[in-house]
């Protein structure tokens, strides 16, 4: 992340910068969740990184610290129905748009993880490839999004215990695919995704 700090200070010195990221593009089930975070320079948070590179224990600790120390944060989503209607890419953009637009303090610039920018944002924005490993605000957003989504899918495991959601978080593991084959699909499966679509057709 240190590599991006000079870049950020040159372009956005004194501006309120929001980082935005999403979690849950790849799974076969559940909402896609996004977060936006404006960090407080006066209250630095150590250990921020791409959420996938952190242990669950570390993510949980940072989740609480980010919510406590950030100038503003927002968590939003696009539903399974929206994913199936407009596709996962557009649903991810929609979720990030909702997160940025819902910040209690509006950002003056947004940094979006990846290579695309949601349309009609309330502020100028740019895409940052691998931003969750390069910029602290995007890393913070990735943590909020992933922890939120993981908690929700684990809770859904109680409603649909036959699928093992608590272990694979909805991703297309061998265990998950076998469960779909044995039990069929449930209400939180994304019917536009290949393995789920094939199960329904079969």
Q: Return the pLDDT at 4.
A: 40
Quote the pTM value. 0.92
Q: Return the pLDDT at 15.
A: 78
Q: What is the mean pLDDT of residues 82-105?
A: 98
pLDDT 10s digits, 127-150: 999 999 999 999 999 999 999 999
Domains along the sequence of the chain with CATH: 2-148 (3.30.420.10)
Q: Return the pLDDT at 5.
A: 46
User: Assign residue 44 a region: left if phi > 0, alpha if psi is -120 to 50, beta otherwise?
Assistant: beta
**Which CA distances in Å does 119 have to 100, 123, 148, 181, 199?**
11, 10, 24, 38, 34
């Amino acid at each position: 992340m240190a590599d991006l700090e000079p870049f950020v200070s040159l372009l956005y010195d004194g501006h309120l910068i929001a980082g935005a990221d999403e979690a849950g593009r790849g799974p076969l089930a559940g909402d896609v969740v996004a977060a936006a975070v404006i960090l407080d320079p006066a209250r630095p948070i150590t250990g921020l990184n791409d959420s996938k590179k952190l242990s669950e224990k570390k993510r949980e600790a940072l989740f609480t610290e980010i919510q406590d120390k950030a100038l503003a944060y927002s968590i939003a989503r696009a539903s399974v129905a929206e994913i199936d209607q407009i596709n996962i890419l557009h649903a991810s953009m929609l979720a990030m748009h909702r997160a940025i637009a819902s910040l209690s303090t509006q950002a003056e610039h947004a940094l979006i993880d990846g290579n695309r920018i949601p349309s009609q944002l309330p502020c100028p924005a740019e895409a940052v490839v691998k931003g969750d490993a390069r910029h602290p605000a995007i890393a913070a957003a990735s943590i909020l999004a992933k922890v939120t989504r993981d908690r929700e899918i684990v809770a859904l495991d109680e409603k649909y215990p036959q699928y093992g959601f608590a272990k694979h978080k909805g991703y297309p593991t061998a265990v998950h695919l076998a469960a779909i084959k044995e039990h069929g699909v449930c209400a939180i499966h994304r019917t536009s995704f290949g393995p789920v679509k094939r199960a329904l057709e079969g």
